[in-house]
């Protein structure tokens, strides 16, 4: 069946062929056999429910059955140890989940969520995440996608940030054949901050489609978007990144950067960065680069004894380190880094 997914909020010219993703997919009904494991603080309030009701996500799908996980970080609660949430897929899973994060006033917590295939069967996964960060809260949510190459992974994030709150999302997109992501974020009140970091690696015939729409609404708000990627073989990537300065968001900042390295002549990268401005007193910047590994850097490293593949890997990991360094827990950061290096090898 043909679907139109990940549509731009504000359409651009059709010549760019990036207003949406038109794709033929056989999207299965819910058939959940995943194993969920949560390790972390007993200070959290956690509710789990199986639901049969209709919801729509901004990816563009209607969902009728799903697992809901609601996690509340209570007011004035500071959790310093990482909270680990692991999903293992098996037996042709078709899993739909909804995770609701609520960071209450003056709270702090870091979450690390891993999706992994426990077998070599094909799996389908669709997540709707809804996050609310209340006054003076601080948190991070990191996704690590390690699903196998027969799988489809979709993540839709809806994010609301209130006064003086600071939320970071890190998306480590390393697995699956078709991967579709979006974030719609509203910085509603004064000094709200949203950081969005993404690493993606495409190989073989992988398709990666990204759509980020971040809004500065309150005064003195900060949106920062950093995307680093690698495409090899005949993989394809579409990137849409929008920062929207709404009228009244004076003294706000918006920055977006996307850098894609192409290791193959048949890989394809399409990018559309946008800044929309309804307010004069703001600072906005965006940049996109896409191309082969710098020949100067490659020559420099090879002249010092590195083989070409080793040199390319070192250059890619240097780019990725801008994002990996945001992972606070050393053990988790090393685990993610090891998985990236294995994939690059």
Q: What is the pLDDT of residue 15?
A: 66
Torsion of CA 96, 100, 101, 104, to 10 degrees: -170
Distance CA 49, CA 54 (A): 15
**pLDDT string in tens for the chain (345-residue length):** 999 999 988 777 676 678 999 999 999 999 876 788 999 889 999 999 999 999 999 999 999 999 999 999 999 999 999 999 999 998 888 999 999 999 999 999 999 999 999 888 999 999 999 999 999 999 999 999 999 999 999 999 999 999 999 999 999 999 999 999 999 999 999 999 999 999 999 999 999 999 999 999 999 999 999 999 999 999 999 999 999 999 999 999 999 999 999 999 999 999 999 999 999 999 999 888 888 877 777 777 777 777 888 888 888 899 999 899 989 899 999 999 999 999 888
Structure tokens belonging to residue 275: 């800044």
Reduce the DSSP state of residue 335 to 3 states and report it: helix
> What is the per-residue burial (b if ≥16 Cβ within 10 Å, else e) of 209-223?
bbbbbbbbbbbbbbb
Q: What is the pTM of this model?
A: 0.95
Residue 301 neighbours by CB distance under 10 Å: 19
Asked if 116 and 90 count as a contact pair (C-beta separation under 8 A), the reply is: no
CB neighbours (10 Å) of residue 39? 11
DSSP letter, residue 182: E
Find out whether 123 and 149 touch, Cβ atoms under 8 Å.
no
Helices (H), the chain: 295-302, 308-324, 330-344
Under 8 Å between Cβ of 214 and 242: yes
Give 60-104 as a DSSP string: S-EE--EEEEEEEE-TT-B--SPEEEEEEE-SS-EEEEEEEEEE-
DSSP structural state of residue 27: P
Q: How many CA atoms lie within 13 A of 14 on its CB side?
A: 1
DSSP bridge partners of 243:
214, 275
Pairing of β 108-117 and β 138-146: parallel
DSSP state of 16: G
Looking from the CA of 85 toward its CB, the CA atoms found within 13 Å total 16
């Amino acid at each position: 069946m043909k679907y139109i997914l990940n549509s731009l909020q504000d359409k651009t010219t059709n010549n760019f062929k990036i207003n949406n993703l038109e794709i033929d997919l056989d999207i299965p009904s819910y058939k959940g056999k995943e194993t969920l494991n949560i390790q972390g603080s007993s200070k959290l309030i956690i509710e789990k429910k199986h639901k049969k009701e209709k919801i729509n996500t901004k990816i563009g799908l209607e969902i009728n059955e799903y697992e809901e996980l609601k996690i509340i970080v209570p007011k004035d609660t500071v959790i310093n140890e990482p909270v680990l949430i692991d999903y293992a897929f098996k037996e042709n899973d078709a899993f739909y989940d909804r995770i609701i994060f609520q960071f209450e006033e003056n709270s702090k917590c870091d979450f690390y969520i891993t999706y992994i295939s426990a077998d070599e069967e094909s799996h389908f996964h669709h997540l709707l995440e809804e996050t609310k960060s209340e006054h003076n809260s601080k948190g991070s949510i990191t996704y690590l996608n390690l699903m196998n190459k027969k799988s489809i992974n979709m993540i839709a994030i809806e994010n609301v940030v209130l006064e003086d709150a600071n939320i970071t999302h890190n998306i480590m997109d390393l697995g699956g054949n078709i991967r579709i992501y979006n974030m719609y974020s509203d910085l509603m009140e004064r000094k709200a901050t949203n950081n969005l970091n993404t690493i993606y690696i495409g190989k073989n015939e992988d398709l990666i489609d990204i759509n980020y729409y971040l809004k500065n609404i309150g005064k003195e708000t900060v949106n920062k978007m950093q995307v680093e990627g690698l495409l090899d073989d005949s993989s394809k990537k579409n990137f849409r990144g929008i920062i929207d300065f709404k009228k009244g968001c004076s003294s706000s900042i918006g920055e977006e950067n996307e850098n894609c390295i192409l290791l193959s002549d048949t890989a394809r990268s399409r990018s559309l960065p946008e800044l929309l401005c309804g307010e004069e007193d703001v600072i906005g910047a965006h940049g996109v680069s896409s191309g082969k590994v710098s020949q100067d850097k490659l020559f420099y490293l090879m002249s010092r004894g590195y083989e070409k593949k080793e040199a390319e890997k070192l250059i890619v990991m240097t780019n990725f380190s801008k994002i990996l360094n945001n992972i606070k827990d050393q053990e988790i950061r090393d685990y993610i880094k090891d998985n990236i290096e294995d994939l690059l090898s």
